[in-house]
Structure 1
Amino acid sequence: MANELSTTQAAAFLKDEGWDFAAIQAYRRYVSSIFRRVVAPMKPKLALELKQNCYQIGSPLYTVMYRASRLSAADKLALILQQCTAVIDQHGFLQLGQRYSFSPTMAPHDQFLRYLRKQVQRAFPKKSLKQYATDGPHADVARKIHLFRSYIDRHNIIYIREHFAGSNDLEKLLKYGQKFHLKFDYSTGANYHNRFLSHQTWDYPKNMKIQVTKHSRMSEFIVDLVSGQFVSEWTLYQIHSNQMVDSDPMHYDLTTIAAIANTASFNYGLPIGQNVTLDFLDHHSHRRLDVQHPDDPDIRRLATNSYQTTYWQYEKDYPTGRYADIVKKGIRDNLAWQKIPAHQRSEVYDDFVNYCIQRLPLRNPGFYHYNKQRHYNGTLK
């Protein structure tokens, strides 16, 4: 009886939630295969759990249905936004309802996120996401799916913090990588995540970027070099009792919202780093989908608007500017940096940048390599 309830009667509520016939058929096959391995007394409880999983984006059951659906790529994106009752508020912030949530078991490298990313690439294949958001039949989807990235970032942070132990976020992130035998990417530039107030003077990077995985560079984490904690906009947002985000920029102090200016950003395209991915044909996708994107919320636009007297600006890469990533090859770069006394870091960093310039056209080797050369026979080579 429980099996019948969980398949036949489920078709009605699945259809109401926007699923097509192919997705519903996939649900039936999935549930039938599960029930065949479960004793009768457990079936009512399991039926309830499976229905709950339908409301958890990225759960195994949700993923099976999502992949099986024959909706177009754009309509698949619209489906998630519809299920989440996604609405852009008066301050340009995407607000989500509470009926749907991300599956607590969905890791930052999960197959569902890889598939979702592919749907964005298929739905918006040629022009920039900003252009798609300007006109056309899927303009609303383009605007909302850009803002949806922020919620994926929040989920990824929650996943790492809730599933792994450590004295700080970096230790937890590294344990996550060890558990799943993942290689991380440290090579893509992080100057957009090291912004500083425009009336101040640039000294050296405070944050590093870690992307998951080494070759996909899909989910990313911005980590404070000193504290090892994640740098995220979600540490600053005020949440109302109805779980809506207070998105009014007038309720925040511009000078204290560095985390909003420097926050991580889930990548729909492939960021260009030092690790070449030969099987990814569209190497311009990161610029089209993640850089040339629709408008950010007002609060982030306020933080990074260069037309203001005070804003959070970024330093240009060397040799035009004085920005060079301290962490480029891995955690050993950060460990080497931590050994530099705080009062010497500005001077040492300046020398590090000069060293990187002298190496051109060779790439930045990371601080560990520089520091090793710096102490070789007491001279910098």
Structure 2
Amino acid sequence: MPPIIWDDAAQRLLSKEIIKKTRRRSLKEAREIEQQILQESRLVGSSIYTKMFQASKQEPKEKLALLLGQLGAQMEEGTLQLLGPYQIDANMPPHGEFLRLLAKTVQQAYSGKVLDDPQVHQLRMYLDRHNITYIRQLFGGQGITDEAALSAYVRASKKSGGLGGQKLIAERARFHNKYQHNYQPGGENRKRLTPDFHGEFILDENGHFVSQWNVLEFDSAGKLITDFDYYRKRCGTYTQWHSFQQQILNGESFNYADRNDLVHRRLDILPPGQLDHPLRKEIAKEWKNPANKVEYHWKKADKQKDGYSQRDLIKKRAGWLSIFLLIIGIAKRNLFRHR
């Protein structure tokens, strides 16, 4: 297992934080505060953990190995298992600072390269699980759809764990509308992203999250089950099995890239075919992605304002700029012809 010990720079920061918070406290209070800080330092994504990760002088790939070691990452029959002792902080929001820091670290570690480490790749699905659980537990509840909870997350203040009114990015969800035989238009899944592009949520036509975490199970030892035969036997009917596969294949996928570009292709789009867990790889053999603009379209229903998301403003500005430059170019050519 990779080492889980922080380097000197990170440990110095931890010591300074403890000294700062325990100054002028009684011995009893100081010990309690110290224990609290040490416990929080074992929660990936907590404030102190994020500061330590940022302060560390290790190289990007060493930082990733450190994180995976802390989470007890092990590959077992093609599936990443996280066995502790560190846990992902339940209070870290999907737009959390650590997630941006992690994404930047992966970008640096695989600069100009396709991500080829199955542990780093499959870590994304555990971040997905964290994000949808966060939305459901903090903003959901009985009678509240996932979409309503997502909307509440957008409206909630940053102090209470929300986005403070900053809207999600609405993007096309072509890769999240896979089909087996004949593509049936209508009722497509929709994709929403956190403003930093990293956190991703897929919604069906009824406002429910589409996610492999709706159907995957853990065994008695707390290990994720990804055995094909296990789930095939549990899904007794064709309808149950078909629905199960849709959840596995069409769900969300945390992005290490900052936008839909070549980095996104190298880190997020290309790796799944080779590095996904065996269940998803086996099921994917019989499913296809709808052809863009032929089968899959940016539907009117998906363009409608929902109050909590919007198209990528950078793309929109770039689009209008391209049109403006095109018009200027045509005008210049016409002016030149008439001289």
TM range (shorter): 0.7 to 0.9
Q: Is 1:18 aligned to 2:2, yes or no?
A: no
Of 19-28 and 162-171, the range deviating more from structure 2: 162-171
- Equivalent in the alignment of 2:263: 285
Q: Is 1:206 aligned to 2:188, yes or no?
A: yes
1:42 deviates by: 2.8
Deviation track 1:219-273 (CA, whole Å, cap 9, x = no partner) reads 01011221x221110111121111101111111235332101111000001343x
Q: Is 1:258 aligned to 2:246, yes or no?
A: yes
C-alpha separation in 2, matches of 1:218 and 1:184:
11
- Equivalent in the alignment of 1:102: 88
> Quick one: which amino acid aligns to residue 172 of structure 2?
G
1:201 deviates by: 4.1
- Equivalent in the alignment of 2:315: none
Structure 1 residues 330 and 125: CA distance shift in structure 2, 3 A: farther
- Equivalent in the alignment of 1:351: none
> Quick one: which amino acid aligns to residue 323 of structure 1?
H
Structure 1 residues 328 and 144: CA distance shift in structure 2, 3 A: farther
> Quick one: which amino acid aligns to residue 245 of structure 1?
L
C-alpha separation in 2, matches of 1:223 and 1:43:
47
Segments of structure 1 that go 5 or more residues without pairing to the other structure are 1-15, 134-141, 273-282, 306-310, 335-360, 363-381
Structure 1 residues 87 and 231: CA distance shift in structure 2, 3 A: same
C-alpha separation in 2, matches of 1:260 and 1:247:
11
> Quick one: which amino acid aligns to residue 218 of structure 1?
H
- SS of 2:91 mapped into structure 1: coil
Structure 1 residues 37 and 103: CA distance shift in structure 2, 3 A: farther
Q: Is 1:238 aligned to 2:238, yes or no?
A: no
Superposition pairs for residues 91-130 of structure 1, below 5 Å? 92-129=78-115
C-alpha separation in 2, matches of 1:28 and 1:52:
14
C-alpha separation in 1, matches of 2:304 and 2:265:
23
Structure 1 residues 80 and 252: CA distance shift in structure 2, 3 A: same
Question: In the alignment, is the contact (CA less than 8 A) between 2:151 and 2:308 conserved in 1?
Answer: no
C-alpha separation in 2, matches of 1:257 and 1:159:
24
Deviation track 1:81-117 (CA, whole Å, cap 9, x = no partner) reads 1111211111x11111032111121100011000000
Count matched residues. 288
Deviation track 1:106-161 (CA, whole Å, cap 9, x = no partner) reads 100011000000000000010222xxx2xxxxxxxx22111100000000111111
Q: Is 1:185 aligned to 2:159, yes or no?
A: no
Structure 1 residues 68 and 329: CA distance shift in structure 2, 3 A: farther
Question: In the alignment, is the contact (CA less than 8 A) between 2:124 and 2:253 conserved in 1?
Answer: yes
Structure 1 residues 332 and 178: CA distance shift in structure 2, 3 A: closer
C-alpha separation in 1, matches of 2:9 and 2:307:
49
Deviation track 1:167-198 (CA, whole Å, cap 9, x = no partner) reads 11111111111122222100x220111122x2
Match of 1:27 among 2, 6, 14: 14
Deviation track 1:291-322 (CA, whole Å, cap 9, x = no partner) reads 111421111112211xxxxx23221111x334
Question: In the alignment, is the contact (CA less than 8 A) between 2:93 and 2:131 conserved in 1?
Answer: yes
Question: In the alignment, is the contact (CA less than 8 A) between 1:317 and 1:324 conserved in 2?
Answer: no
> Quick one: which amino acid aligns to residue 194 of structure 1?
N
Structure 1 residues 322 and 50: CA distance shift in structure 2, 3 A: closer
Structure 1 residues 333 and 120: CA distance shift in structure 2, 3 A: closer
Percent identity (aligned): 31
Structure 1 residues 178 and 333: CA distance shift in structure 2, 3 A: closer
Deviation track 1:33-62 (CA, whole Å, cap 9, x = no partner) reads 111275554333222221211211011111
Structure 1 residues 323 and 301: CA distance shift in structure 2, 3 A: farther
> Quick one: which amino acid aligns to residue 148 of structure 2?
E
Structure 1 residues 329 and 71: CA distance shift in structure 2, 3 A: farther
CA RMSD of aligned residues (A): 2.2
- Equivalent in the alignment of 2:178: 195
1:330 deviates by: 3.9
Superposition pairs for residues 232-381 of structure 1, below 5 Å? 232-253=211-232, 254-255=241-242, 256-272=244-260, 283-293=261-271, 294-305=274-285, 311-318=286-293, 320-325=294-299, 326-328=301-303, 330-331=305-306
Superposition pairs for residues 6-85 of structure 1, below 5 Å? 17-36=4-23, 38=25, 40-85=27-72
- SS of 2:224 mapped into structure 1: coil
C-alpha separation in 1, matches of 2:262 and 2:305:
25
C-alpha separation in 1, matches of 2:183 and 2:265:
28
Q: Which runs of 4+ in 1 moved over 6 A?
A: none
Question: In the alignment, is the contact (CA less than 8 A) between 1:236 and 1:257 conserved in 2?
Answer: no
Which one has more relative contact order, counting CA pairs under 8 Å at least 6 apart?
2
C-alpha separation in 2, matches of 1:237 and 1:152:
15
Of 18-27 and 202-211, the range deviating more from structure 2: 202-211
- SS of 2:193 mapped into structure 1: strand
Question: In the alignment, is the contact (CA less than 8 A) between 2:185 and 2:295 conserved in 1?
Answer: no
Question: In the alignment, is the contact (CA less than 8 A) between 1:73 and 1:119 conserved in 2?
Answer: yes
